[in-house]
Amino acid sequence: MIGRMPLAVLPATVTDLDQVLRDHSRFWGDRDLRALHQPVLVQQFGSTCRVARAEDGIRGYLIGFVTPDRTGYVHLIATRDDARGTGLGRRLWTAFTEAARARGAVRLKAITSVTNEGSIAFHRSLGFDARVVDDYNGPGRPMVVFARSLLP
Ligand SMILES: CC(C)(COP(=O)(O)OP(=O)(O)OC[C@H]1O[C@@H](n2cnc3c(N)ncnc32)[C@H](O)[C@@H]1OP(=O)(O)O)[C@@H](O)C(=O)NCCC(=O)NCCS
């Protein structure tokens, strides 16, 4: 019944972050990304972060903000294992894009590891250009950089 329950997409709070961390493996599997979920991000940028909430809890979330050069940057996005492939990831990016545009963003950006094929396919489906940038995270640590213009 995953698709039937009403789902609200709302700005995120530190309480939401806490709930997500308790369910961490349902969002990230074996990868331990807990250290990237700093409360400061939600404290300072909660108005551009989004959480998708249903009766059965948080189904997906996005942590993102607008940088001084007017880039809408998404630091983390994940949907719960039982909510994938239902359009929720796209909905979270759309909600973030609206919030980022309203705050002056003219482009969107995100990064992922070169081995995260699901994330690369997902962002390509959403119209992002994807390219590998050598040494992005330091010497010998490449990342895939996703970019999309918001200009007409
Ligand atoms: C990546 C992720 C957020 C996608 O969320 P989702 O809710 O399944 O995505 P959606 O259902 O909104 O899919 C949107 C589009 O992306 C495509 N897509 C999503 N995941 C895909 C995958 N693994 N392989 C191929 N295509 C994929 C869908 O087919 C869909 O395409 P369409 O709209 O053209 O039909 C989700 O798989 C996830 O949480 N993964 C684990 C965490 C992660 O790696 N996050 C990204 C780190 S940067």
Q: Which domains does the chain have, with CATH numbers?
A: 1-105 (3.40.630.30), 106-152 (no CATH)
User: pLDDT by residue (tens digit) across 49-106?
Assistant: 999 999 999 999 999 999 999 999 999 999 999 999 999 999 999 999 999 999 999 9
List, in order, residues 6 or more apart from 24 with CB less than 8 Å away.
32, 33, 34
Q: Which residues 6+ apart lie within 8 Å of 80 measured at CB?
A: 23, 26, 27, 57, 58, 59, 60
For the CA of 74, the closest atom of ligand 1 is 48
Q: Whose C-alpha lies nearest to ligand 1, atom 27? A: 122
121 pocket-lining for ligand 1 (C-beta < 6 Å): yes
Distance 124 CA to ligand 1 centre (A): 10
Is the CB of residue 89 below 6 angstroms from any atom belonging to ligand 1?
Answer: yes
Name the band, by pLDDT with cuts 50, 70 and 90, for residue 5.
confident
* Ligand 1 atom at minimal distance to the Cα of residue 110: 48
Query: How far, in Å, is the centroid of ligand 1 from the Cα of 73?
Result: 18
CB of 87 shorter than 6 A to ligand 1: yes
To the nearest whole percent, how much of the chain has pLDDT over 70? 97
